[in-house]
Amino acid sequence: MSRSAMTKIKNSMKRRTDALSRDQIVEEAIDLLDQSGEAGLTFQALSKRLATGPGAIYWHIADKNDLLTAACDAIVARTMNETLAGGTPKENVRQLALGIFDAIDAHPWVGSALASIPGELPVVRILERIGQQMRALRVRDDALWPVTSAFLSYILGVGRQNGANAQLAREKGLDRSTVLSEVSTGWYQLDADEYPFARSIGAQFRAHDDRIDFLTGIDLILGGIDTM
Amino acid sequence: MSRSAMTKIKNSMKRRTDALSRDQIVEEAIDLLDQSGEAGLTFQALSKRLATGPGAIYWHIADKNDLLTAACDAIVARTMNETLAGGTPKENVRQLALGIFDAIDAHPWVGSALASIPGELPVVRILERIGQQMRALRVRDDALWPVTSAFLSYILGVGRQNGANAQLAREKGLDRSTVLSEVSTGWYQLDADEYPFARSIGAQFRAHDDRIDFLTGIDLILGGIDTM
DNA sequence: ACCTGAACACCGTTCAAGT
DNA sequence: ACCTGAACACCGTTCAAGT
What are the tens digits of pLDDT across the range A61-96? Answer: 999 999 999 999 999 999 999 998 789 999 999 999
CB B32 within 8 A of CB B40: yes
**Cα distance from B15 to chain A (closest Cα, Å)?**
36
Give the global pTM.
0.91
Cβ separation A194–B154 shorter than 8 A: no
Tell me: pLDDT of B13 over 50.
no
Q: What is the mean pLDDT of chain A?
A: 90
Tell me: pLDDT of A113 over 60.
yes
CA-to-C1' span, B70 to C8 (A):
34
Closest to B104 (Cα-Cα) out of B58, B167, B172, B46: B167
Q: How many other CB atoms are found less than 10 A from the CB of residue A169?
A: 16
User: What is the model's pLDDT at position B172?
Assistant: 82
User: What is the spatial distance between Cα A120 and Cα B165, in angstroms, rounded to a whole number?
Assistant: 12
**Cα distance from B112 to chain A (closest Cα, Å)?**
9
Q: Is A7 on the interface with B (CB under 8 A)?
A: no
Q: Which of B116, B145, B217 is opposite residue A208, by nearest beta carbon? A: B145
Q: Which of A220, A226, A227 to mutate against chain B (most B CBs within 10 Å)? A: A220
CA torsion angle B109 B115 B118 B122 (round to 10):
30
Angle between helices B121-136 and B144-172 (to 10 degrees): 130
> Could you check: is the Cβ of residue A15 within 7 Å of any atom of nucleic acid strand D?
no
User: What is the spatial distance between Cα B228 and Cα B225, in angstroms, rounded to a whole number?
Assistant: 5
Non-local (6+) Cβ contacts of B142 within 8 A are: A204
User: What is the per-residue DSSP string for A95-146?
Assistant: HHHHHHHHHHHHSTHHHHHHHTSTTSHHHHHHHHHHHHHHHHTT--GGGHHH
pLDDT interval class at A19 (50, 70, 90): confident
Tell me: pLDDT of A53 over 50.
yes
Non-local (6+) Cβ contacts of A118 within 8 A are: B161, B164, B165, B168, B183
